[in-house]
Amino acid sequence: MAGRKVLIVYAHQEPKSFNGSLKRVAVEELSKQGCSVTVSDLYAMQFEPRATRNDIVGCLHNSEEFDYGMETSEAYKRGGLSSDLIEEQKKVQEADLMIFQFPLYWFSMPAIMKGWMDRVLVQGFAHEFPNCYDSGLLKNKLALFSFTTGGSKEMYAKGSINGDIRYLMWPMQHGIMHFCGVKVLAPHICFAPKYVSEEKRKDMLIAWAQRLKTLWKEEPINCSPEWYFK
């Protein structure tokens, strides 16, 4: 919808990859709708995934014993986070919707994207106990995880060797996004694009474009254990 702002956090090394195509489709379709779309291309940006002392500019709150969570929280309050974090937090703050586009690595997101979560979503900015889950500090935002797998849909079915794909979404959707108050849309999963025909890959891209056309009408999932483990 016109006027909405979208942040796509994208983690793939190869622009010509299927994930790259999914990202391009999202940019094109959402831009056509009049949305303002920003992309954080983590590999192209050479985004630093490690949470270190370098994330704090100036003196530490406690120089005797380094506590990353406490130090970044204090640095956020005084405007003392590193410039790359301030830039990413600004993008998050402005976004109505965040789309996370990535290939599934070891039942999770790539390290560079997990590092984005670790470093950007600091206490005071994204959460501040007891302001978490439904009262998290990013509660007026939506998130959608769009990813590819190496295994087929059958391999991620309930009772299969990998277990239900929803089990894998619990730490990402609930433990990170919902914890920060973000409402979560159902994930968009492209199963094993590497092992299907070119025609099926095109169908996957068309299905993604079609979903994006009506995305703003979707209701968030019920972020409860029942959704993941029923």
The answer to whether 115 and 160 have CB atoms below 8 angstroms apart is no
Domain residue spans of the chain: 5-54+91-229
- Helix (H/G/I), strand (E/B), else coil: 50: coil
Please give the share of the chain, as a percent, with pLDDT higher than 70: 100
Q: Is the pLDDT assigned to residue 132 strictly greater than 70?
A: yes
User: What is the pLDDT at residue 32?
Assistant: 96
Amino acid at 145: F
Contact residues for 230 (Cβ-Cβ < 8 A; gap 6+): none
Per-residue pLDDT band at 223 (split at 50, 70, 90):
confident
Whole-model pTM: value is 0.96
Burial of 147 (0-12, 13-18, 19+ CB in 10 A): buried
Please give the structure tokens belonging to residue 111.
């390290």
Per-residue pLDDT band at 1 (split at 50, 70, 90):
low
Mean local confidence (pLDDT), 103-129? 97
**What fold is seen in the domain 5-54+91-229?**
Rossmann fold (3.40.50)
Please give the structure tokens belonging to residue 138.
């990013």
For 7-51, the pLDDT digits (tens) are: 999 999 999 999 999 999 999 999 999 999 999 999 999 999 999
